[in-house]
Amino acid sequence: MPAKPTPTPHSASAAASSAKKPGNTPAIQIRLLDKDDSIPEITHLLHRAYAGQMAMGLQPLAGRQDDATTKRRCINGECFLAILPAAEGKPARIVGTILFHEVEPDQGPPWFQNKHIDSFSQFAVDPDLQGLGIGRLLLEMVERRAKECGAAELALSMAEPDVNLRQFYERRGYRAIETWKWPYTNYTSLILSKAL
Ligand SMILES: CC(C)(COP(=O)(O)OP(=O)(O)OC[C@H]1O[C@@H](n2cnc3c(N)ncnc32)[C@H](O)[C@@H]1OP(=O)(O)O)[C@@H](O)C(=O)NCCC(=O)NCCS
């Protein structure tokens, strides 16, 4: 895992981004996790987003992790949230998340050990709001952060059997590097990477 000048998750260094749903959906704000954000809300979002992979018989950590694990992971990297602002009497809520530069307790794949590589993980968008560009906004945020930190490539680990997900990344310039077996999953992971 490369050493990076990682700001704390509570740093205000990240710029806000916004997206419009075709039609009249409110703007989405992308920002760092704040100490007042609800960890259970993030866990719930992850479980809902990864339910598709769980239904495929896969066991992604994000699809079944408890709140303590969500918290540990969030503070071991820079956790960005996509926020749907309050509107029409409904409170603001977390509708997406991505974790940049997670420092994992488990040994990572060889590609992640290269000094010029950074990575992201725990990437999810509320299933009710997928396909609207929120994922793209979150990806653009971590690609920007990786460049700021001096990385030449941004990498990720995904469940190899999820063919549609692989195509999602390939359409965004990511390419396959190698496979890896994490100790906490029941599938082979595919390591993808993109030159920044
Ligand atoms: C991967 C994920 C974060 C992408 O988020 P998103 O907000 O749907 O992403 P975007 O809207 O930017 O792009 C979605 C793509 O799917 C297409 N799409 C269309 N309808 C869709 C739908 N109902 N649901 C999902 N995607 C749809 C979009 O047009 C877009 O296509 P493109 O690749 O040609 O641009 C989201 O699908 C998700 O949470 N998946 C489950 C968890 C997961 O697999 N995470 C990644 C682990 S490595």
Q: Is there a domain that residue 20 lies in? A: no
- For range 77-89, the mean pLDDT: 95
Residue 26 has pLDDT above 90, yes or no: no
Q: Is there a domain that residue 12 lies in? A: no
Q: Is there a domain that residue 85 lies in? A: yes
Measured CA angle at 176 (ends 170, 181), to 5 deg: 125
pLDDT in tens, 39-60: 999 999 999 999 999 999 999 9
Average per-residue pLDDT in the chain? 90
Q: Which residues pair with 118 in a beta bridge?
A: 154
Asked whether 158 lines ligand 1 (CB < 6 A), one says: yes
> What's the domain count of the chain?
1
pTM: 0.90
Q: Cα of 130 to ligand 1 centre, how many Å?
A: 5
Q: Which of 102, 28, 30 is nearest to 70 (CA)?
A: 102
Q: Cα of 131 to ligand 1 centre, how many Å?
A: 5
Q: Is there a domain that residue 23 lies in? A: no
Predicted confidence at residue 5, as pLDDT, reads 54
| Torsion sign, CA atoms 62, 65, 71, 77 | negative
Report the C-alpha gap between 188 and 159 in whole angstroms. Answer: 6
Question: Containing domain of residue 128, as a range?
Answer: 29-195
pLDDT in tens, 167-181: 999 999 999 999 999
Predicted confidence at residue 106, as pLDDT, reads 86
